[in-house]
Amino acid sequence: MKLFKLTALASLCFALTSTIISCEKDSEKDKVNAYSKSDIPVTGAQVAPVASPSAGLGSLSVSYDKRVGIINYSLTWSGLSDSVIAIRVCGPAPVGYPILNPSFTGANPTGITTTPYIVLQELNGVTTQAPTKAFRPSTGSYTGTLLVDGVKVRQQDLLNGLYFITVHTKTTLPVSGSGAFLYRWFGEIRGQIRFD
């Protein structure tokens, strides 16, 4: 009977130790597999190749888990010049640089969906919807996901901060030439997706 009690006690101790160790392993796995960053600034100064003079501001929160392969992001903005016509995830390009599409042949001045960037994900729509919808004229929010597929969107580029989000409005600036369409083509505000 003593041997049975000692065996049962040893088994219980082993099971308890294994449980504690396995919990530690899960938290350690999260440290190397799960990434998140909140309150990333989204501003006109980050728009490239020409900084936007917009006073509009935004905030970006992102999360990514290597085991799932999906980026979750939440974007808010306020103070924009006009209605949002597009939100685009673009890249790969570091902070301060654009990623121009080599097949881009020129912008259509009246086309609201024209952009010279390489676009990975795009949400288009003129904001004439009720205030409860995702888009609002100068203040709003949007939440989305993007698949890290290893081809179009690569994990290494994501973790190196090479993707960015732009918010485009229908504003035409009071300048001559193509600069008048800066907010439509390059975006009024931009934020870099990063985890540092």
In a domain, 70, yes or no: yes
pLDDT in tens, 99-119: 888 887 776 666 666 788 889
Alpha-carbon span 60 to 75, nearest angstrom: 5
% of residues, the chain, pLDDT over 90: 50
Alpha-carbon span 123 to 134, nearest angstrom: 11
Q: What is the pLDDT of residue 92?
A: 96
**Residue 106 lies in domain:** 33-193
In a domain, 180, yes or no: yes
The answer on pLDDT for 163 being more than 90 is yes
Q: Is the pTM of this model over 0.85?
A: no
In a domain, 20, yes or no: no
The least confident of 52-66, 73-87, 117-131 is: 117-131
Number of folded domains that form the chain: 1
Number of helices (H), then strands (E), belonging to the chain: the values are: 3, 8
Q: What is the pLDDT of residue 18?
A: 58
Contact by Cβ (8 Å): 171, 179: no
% of residues, the chain, pLDDT over 70: 74
Q: What is the pLDDT of residue 156?
A: 97
| Local confidence band at 148 (pLDDT 50, 70, 90 cut-offs) | very high
pLDDT in tens, 168-190: 988 888 777 777 888 888 899 99
In a domain, 9, yes or no: no
Please give the full DSSP string across 161-179, using - where no structure is assigned: T-EEEEEEE----SSSGGG
Backbone angles phi, psi at 105, to 5 degrees: -110, 0
In a domain, 133, yes or no: yes
